[in-house]
Amino acid sequence: MQSSLIGKIEKAHRYAGEPERISIHEFRATFHGGNGAYEVGYADGDGWRCTCNFFQTWSYCSHTMALEKLLTPMVPIGSPQLAPSGSAQE
């Protein structure tokens, strides 16, 4: 293996360990959920979108929250803050 390629691989591993260096501006994926496949996306200025029924009413859903968890800190959190377990708002 070429030494320059070894250096690039090492750099890629370092970058992968520092996700705060990356900002995602647009993202589109298919999420295979328990009740079907949904198109989920993110775009600067528009925020998250999902084709599931829950998202159409609430503007967030388990699919967008799961992707936020996976992609943080690369994508800003857009879901409403949920009340902590045991709070009066349950």
- Taking only the tens place, the pLDDT of each residue in 32-88 is 988 899 999 999 888 999 999 999 999 999 999 999 988 888 887 765 544 344 433
Give pLDDT, residue 79.
Answer: 52
Q: How far apart are CA 31 and CA 45, in angstroms?
A: 22
- Residue spans of the domains in the chain: they are 23-77
What pLDDT, on a 0 to 100 scale, did the predictor assign at position 73?
80
Q: How many CB atoms lie within 10 A of CB 31?
A: 18
3-state secondary structure the chain: CCHHHHHHHHHHHHHHCCHHHCCCCEEEEEEEECCEEEEEEEECCCEEEECCHHHHHHCCCHHHHHHHHHHCCCCCCCCCCCCCCCCCCC
The pLDDT of residue 87 is 39
Instruction: Tell if the pTM clears 0.85, that is, is over it.
Output: no
- In the block, which residue shows the tokens 């409403």? 80
> What's the pLDDT at 1?
66
